[in-house]
């Protein structure tokens, strides 16, 4: 790979001109190389990538391009070759929707694989993982390499086989869950994966920034804790402002003194803040209050079939796999009068950011990388390369239409859609949540406008629906970012009525409100105007929108609306932009703060990992235990060496894993109580670090001491250590989930701050 770095001249080579020159040379080399047979070409590619011999990256690109033409039937555009080069250099490329990032990722993956690196091509869902792997297969196999995809339904054996391929496409959460499950194995052959040298992340800003702190959790069965019925009941009677307040960003709720007194009286206790109540009753009261005040039915969750089902705010639909941290989940169930489900013992957890940190090299592509430049640099040390469009953008982005009230705005949106519908021009409406999308669809249906609402629960179905959004007369109402990665072609997926759709002005995109980040606005706009198509986008904003209210807090402006409630002023426009910049700043700050907590856990996890690997791959467990307890070792002398080694390994790993799980639980508690202390203005992060470091040292020591005790007492015979009989069974059932913890979520769904802020 060295040759590539050198050829590109390292850092300074990052300028576009230099790689443009390489692409030009690649094009020049194409004619001659094009004479070679398939076998000769594949061999040439292997020669070019062999070792660190100085070879010509231009030739390499040319070979990839010719192979693409022969296998996939399309010729890469120059911009795609250039983007491929950037990915091979480890950048995040900024490349607009519809510019063909799938091919860029495929060429880069193939390139890395040719250099002998194992590649994980990371997607946002199952459907895309499968689609892209299959699409790319002919190119990969042309070079004698292998490719597979990971999907949710696969069992361990199928996964193991898939991960053995040179290039593995997989949804980020499945890959993360596999990492977590592999951290519980007791012998190496149970592992399904073994990491990879390179991660190529599609929709990179979504995975690396928006979802970065979403924790993937592995849990084993164990009963949970919920606020008691009495506490739930008392909290239900509390009145906002008098008994509790909600902070401006809607992430935390606090009891007032009045509220605290009311609760204390009802529960018959002297003070919630007494030592005996702080870690128990107060925590439960806070959980109940969080559920009561911040989590709103039909916005943050729905109740269906007697169960609480979370709504994934970033996607705006039911998130089957998600649940809140146990206490919150139970509190919401109690609030709704449902059966409180068993919690799980958290065995391990991993944020997507920590997952990405496991790859020696990360690169990726997205239509909105530039806007995430700060985050990508700060959190991953990644640079952004902007790739020009293949064809000039013909989309018209209208200035925001700003209204005084949400009602005025809603009326205007409906009128605008109705007017567009008259012309037959396709319309795609981006809303922020399920409730909003349904309310809008209802209003449109009342006017006799047929509307397709996107709340399909299945990625493939969702992709099919969104693919048709460019058809004549179609009105599609979607929630945030639904169907990311799907190609919206004018005139329908088959482009049958393309000419007519073009004549009408292409797909009209309407945003029902600015997002908390301009990146998400741009993602929505990017759904139209692909590959030089005509199109337009406009956002409707009201001064009552969350972004404006929370971003504009403390500012005093008077705007004069016209009779329709519209505020047509440059000043108002600037104010809205300002509000969004404020919310963007808040998100960045939350991310940075939260990562400081998670980073420490992640570092500790790495140490545990190393220890686990040593125990798994060497006879160290047996050596350590027999050194500590030679008499016991002598008693086992009759047994075969591999049996006692595995027995020792099982014992050591049991206590190590249990210790880690306890450590995570303890850190949860610490962070909860630290939140309470933060009110008293101590410095929570330092305090947290101090405790976490001290406790981690204890963990390591205790895990060994307990293992020695078990080694001395447990029955060990020809079939190994009988840990189950000693009450030291590993959880028989495990399951995985993602915690609804997205900071981009609308207020209330984020548990990053506040009492619900636990590490999961």
- Label residues 267-299 b or e (16+ Cβ within 10 Å = b): beeeebeeeebbeebbbbbbbbbbbbbbbeeeb
Is 102 annotated in some ligand binding site?
yes
Give the dihedral sign, CA 493/450/461/527: positive
Give the binding range for ligand ADP (CB under 6 A) out of 30-38, 41-49, 91-99, 305-313.
91-99
* Residue (of 473, 469, 443, 471) closest to 456 by Cα position: 469
**Distances, alpha carbon 123 to alpha carbons 101, 196, 367, 457, in Å:** 12, 15, 14, 17
Q: Which residues pair with 401 in a beta bridge?
A: 540
Assess 130 for contact with ligand ADP (CB under 6 A): no
Is 687 annotated in some ligand binding site?
no
**Residue of 4, 58, 62, 103 interacting with ligand ADP (CB under 6 A):** 103
**Binding partner of residue 535 among ligand ADP, Mg ion, none, CB cut-off 5 to 8 Å per kind:** none
Q: Least distance from C-beta 485 to Mg ion, angstroms?
A: 4
Instruction: Phi first, then psi: give them for residue 346, nearest 5 degrees.
Output: -75, 115
**Residue of 19, 30, 97, 661 interacting with ligand ADP (CB under 6 A):** 97
Helices (H), 146-256: 156-163, 172-182, 204-205, 229-236
Assess 399 for contact with ligand ADP (CB under 6 A): no
**Residue of 86, 101, 117, 315 interacting with ligand ADP (CB under 6 A):** 101
Give the integer Cα–Cα distance in Å for 602 and 256: 36
Task: Supply the Cα-derived Rg of the chain in whole angstroms.
Answer: 28
Task: Considering the complex, state which of residue 98 and residue 720 has its C-beta at the smaller distance from ligand ADP.
Answer: 98
Whether the CB-CB separation of 103 and 87 falls below 8 Å is answered with: no
Assess 74 for contact with ligand ADP (CB under 6 A): yes
Helices (H), 680-736: 684-713
**Residue of 1, 49, 60, 77 interacting with ligand ADP (CB under 6 A):** 77
Q: Least distance from C-beta 132 to ligand ADP, angstroms?
A: 8
- Tokens for 532? 């030089």
**Distances, alpha carbon 10 to alpha carbons 14, 56, 114, 383, 497, in Å:** 7, 15, 21, 13, 48
Helices (H), 618-682: 620-628, 630-635, 641-679
Binding mask 701-740 for ligand ADP (x = CB under 6 A): ----------------------------------------
Residue by residue, DSSP assigns 528-578 as: SSGGG-EEEEEEEEETTSHHHHHHTTT--------TTSEE--HHHHHHHHH
Is 101 annotated in some ligand binding site?
yes
Task: Considering the complex, state which of residue 372 and residue 651 has its C-beta at the smaller distance from ligand ADP.
Answer: 372
Task: Considering the complex, state which of residue 84 and residue 602 has its C-beta at the smaller distance from ligand ADP.
Answer: 84
* Residue (of 211, 201, 81, 45) closest to 132 by Cα position: 201
> Any idea which residue has 């959190």 for tokens?
379
Is 100 annotated in some ligand binding site?
yes
**Residue of 99, 312, 650, 668 interacting with ligand ADP (CB under 6 A):** 99
Assess 91 for contact with ligand ADP (CB under 6 A): no
Q: Least distance from C-beta 95 to ligand ADP, angstroms?
A: 6
Instruction: Calculate ∠ Cα 636-641-642, nearest 5°.
Output: 120
Binding mask 431-470 for ligand ADP (x = CB under 6 A): ----------------------------------------
Assess 756 for contact with Mg ion (CB under 5 A): no
**H or E, element range at 636:** none
- Tokens for 485? 């990665």
Is 698 annotated in some ligand binding site?
no
Q: How many CB atoms lie within 10 A of CB 618?
A: 12
Give the integer Cα–Cα distance in Å for 323 and 334: 15
Through-space distance between the first and last CA atoms of the chain, rounded to whole angstroms: 37
Is 487 annotated in some ligand binding site?
yes
Whether the CB-CB separation of 99 and 387 falls below 8 Å is answered with: yes
Assess 329 for contact with ligand ADP (CB under 6 A): no
Task: Considering the complex, state which of residue 124 and residue 311 has its C-beta at the smaller distance from Mg ion.
Answer: 124
Assess 133 for contact with ligand ADP (CB under 6 A): no
Task: Considering the complex, state which of residue 299 and residue 362 has its C-beta at the smaller distance from Mg ion.
Answer: 362
Assess 380 for contact with ligand ADP (CB under 6 A): no
Assess 535 for contact with ligand ADP (CB under 6 A): no
Assess 100 for contact with ligand ADP (CB under 6 A): yes
**Binding partner of residue 322 among ligand ADP, Mg ion, none, CB cut-off 5 to 8 Å per kind:** none
Q: Least distance from C-beta 128 to Mg ion, angstroms?
A: 7
Assess 111 for contact with ligand ADP (CB under 6 A): no
3-state secondary structure of 438: helix
Binding mask 686-705 for ligand ADP (x = CB under 6 A): --------------------
Q: Least distance from C-beta 729 to Mg ion, angstroms?
A: 45
**Residue of 24, 56, 258, 487 interacting with ligand ADP (CB under 6 A):** 487
**Residue of 101, 159, 591, 760 interacting with Mg ion (CB under 5 A):** 101
**Residue of 485, 513, 565, 740 interacting with Mg ion (CB under 5 A):** 485
Q: Least distance from C-beta 368 to ligand ADP, angstroms?
A: 12
Is 562 annotated in some ligand binding site?
no
Give the binding range for ligand ADP (CB under 6 A) out of 96-104, 176-184, 251-259, 354-362.
96-104
Assess 136 for contact with ligand ADP (CB under 6 A): no
Task: Considering the complex, state which of residue 101 and residue 515 has its C-beta at the smaller distance from Mg ion.
Answer: 101
**Residue of 102, 149, 451, 536 interacting with ligand ADP (CB under 6 A):** 102
**Distances, alpha carbon 363 to alpha carbons 22, 93, 205, 506, in Å:** 20, 8, 11, 33
- Label residues 619-655 b or e (16+ Cβ within 10 Å = b): bbbbebbbebbeebbeebeebeeebbbbbbbbbbbbb
**Residue of 57, 61, 63, 76 interacting with ligand ADP (CB under 6 A):** 76
Give the integer Cα–Cα distance in Å for 126 and 313: 19
Assess 626 for contact with ligand ADP (CB under 6 A): no
Assess 533 for contact with ligand ADP (CB under 6 A): no
Binding-site annotation, residues for ATP:
80, 98-102, 487
- Binding site residues, Mg ion, CB under 5 A: 101, 485
- Binding site residues, ligand ADP, CB under 6 A: 74-77, 80, 95, 97-103, 487
């Amino acid at each position: 790979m060295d040759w590539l770095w050198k050829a590109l001249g390292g850092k300074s080579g990052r300028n576009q001109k230099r790689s443009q020159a390489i692409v030009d040379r690649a094009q020049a080399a194409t004619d001659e190389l094009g004479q070679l047979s398939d076998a000769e070409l594949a061999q040439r590619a292997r020669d070019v990538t062999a070792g660190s011999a100085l070879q010509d990256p231009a030739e390499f690109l040319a070979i990839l391009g010719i192979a693409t033409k022969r296998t996939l039937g399309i010729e890469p555009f120059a911009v795609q070759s250039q983007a491929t080069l950037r990915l091979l250099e480890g950048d995040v490329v900024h490349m607009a929707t519809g510019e063909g990032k799938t091919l860029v990722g495929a060429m880069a993956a193939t390139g890395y694989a040719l250099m002998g690196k194992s590649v994980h091509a990371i997607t946002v869902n199952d459907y895309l993982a499968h689609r892209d792997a299959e699409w790319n297969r002919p190119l990969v196999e042309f070079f004698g390499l292998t490719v597979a995809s990971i999907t949710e339904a696969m069992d361990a054996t199928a996964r193991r086989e898939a991960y053995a391929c040179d290039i593995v496409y997989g949804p980020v959460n499945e890959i993360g869950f596999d990492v977590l499950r592999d951290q519980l194995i007791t012998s190496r052959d149970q592992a399904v994966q073994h990491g990879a040298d390179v991660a190529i992340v599609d929709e990179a800003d979504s995975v690396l920034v928006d979802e970065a702190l979403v924790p993937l959790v592995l849990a084993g069965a164990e009963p949970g804790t919920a606020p008691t019925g009495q506490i739930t009941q008392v909290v239900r009677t509390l009145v906002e402002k008098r008994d509790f307040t909600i902070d401006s960003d809607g992430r935390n709720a606090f009891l007032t003194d009045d509220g605290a007194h009311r609760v204390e009286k009802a529960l018959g206790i002297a003070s919630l803040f007494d030592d005996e109540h702080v870690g128990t009753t107060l925590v439960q009261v806070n959980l109940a209050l969080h559920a009561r005040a911040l989590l709103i039915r039909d916005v943050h969750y729905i109740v269906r079939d007697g169960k609480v089902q979370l709504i994934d705010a970033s996607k705006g639909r039911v998130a089957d796999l998600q649940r809140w941290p146990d206490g919150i989940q139970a509190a919401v169930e109690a609030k709704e009068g449902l059966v409180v489900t068993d919690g799980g013992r958290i065995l391990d957890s991993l944020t997507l950011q920590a997952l990405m940190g496991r790859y020696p090299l990360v690169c990726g592509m997205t239509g909105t990388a530039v806007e995430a430049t700060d985050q990508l640099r700060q959190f991953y040390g990644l640079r952004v390369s902007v790739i020009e469009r293949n064809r000039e953008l013909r989309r018209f982005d209208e200035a925001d239409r700003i209204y005084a009230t949400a009602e005025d705005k809603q009326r205007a949106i409906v009128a605008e859609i109705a007017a567009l519908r008259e012309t037959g021009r396709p319309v795609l409406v981006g809303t922020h949540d399920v409730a909003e999308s349904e309310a809008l669809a209802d209003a449109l249906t009342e006017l006799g406008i047929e509307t397709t609402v996107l709340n399909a629960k299945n990625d493939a179905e969702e992709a099919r629906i969104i693919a048709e959004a460019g058809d004549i007369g179609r009105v599609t109402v979607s929630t945030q970012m639904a169907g990311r990665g799907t190609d919206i072609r004018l005139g329908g997926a088959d482009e049958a009525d393309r000419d007519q759709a073009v004549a009408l002005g292409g797909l009209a995109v309407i945003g029902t409100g600015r997002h908390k980040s301009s990146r998400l606005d741009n993602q929505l706009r990017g759904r139209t105007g692909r590959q030089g198509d005509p199109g337009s986008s406009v956002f409707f904003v009201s001064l009552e929108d969350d972004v404006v209210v929370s971003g504009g807090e403390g500012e005093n402006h008077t705007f004069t609306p016209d009779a329709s409630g519209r505020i047509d002023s440059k000043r108002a426009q600037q104010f809205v932009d300002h509000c969004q910049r404020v919310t963007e700043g808040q998100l960045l700050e939350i991310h940075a703060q939260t990562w400081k907590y998670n980073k420490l856990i992640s570092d500790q996890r790495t140490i545990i990992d190393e220890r686990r690997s040593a125990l798994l791959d060497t006879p160290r467990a047996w050596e350590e235990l027999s050194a500590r307890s030679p008499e016991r070792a002598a008693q086992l002398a009759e047994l075969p060496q591999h049996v006692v080694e595995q027995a020792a390994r099982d014992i050591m790993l049991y206590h190590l894993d249990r210790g880690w799980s306890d450590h995570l639980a303890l850190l949860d508690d610490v962070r909860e109580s630290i939140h309470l202390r933060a009110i008293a203005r101590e410095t929570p992060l330092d305090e947290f670090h101090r405790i976490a470091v001290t406790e981690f040292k204890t963990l390591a020591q205790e895990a060994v001491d307990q293992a020695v005790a078990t080694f001395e007492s447990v029955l060990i015979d020809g079939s190994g250590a009988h840990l189950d009989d000693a009450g030291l069974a590993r959880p028989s059932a495990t399951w995985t989930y993602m915690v609804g913890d997205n900071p981009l979520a609308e207020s209330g769904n984020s548990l990053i701050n506040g009492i619900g802020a636990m590490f999961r």
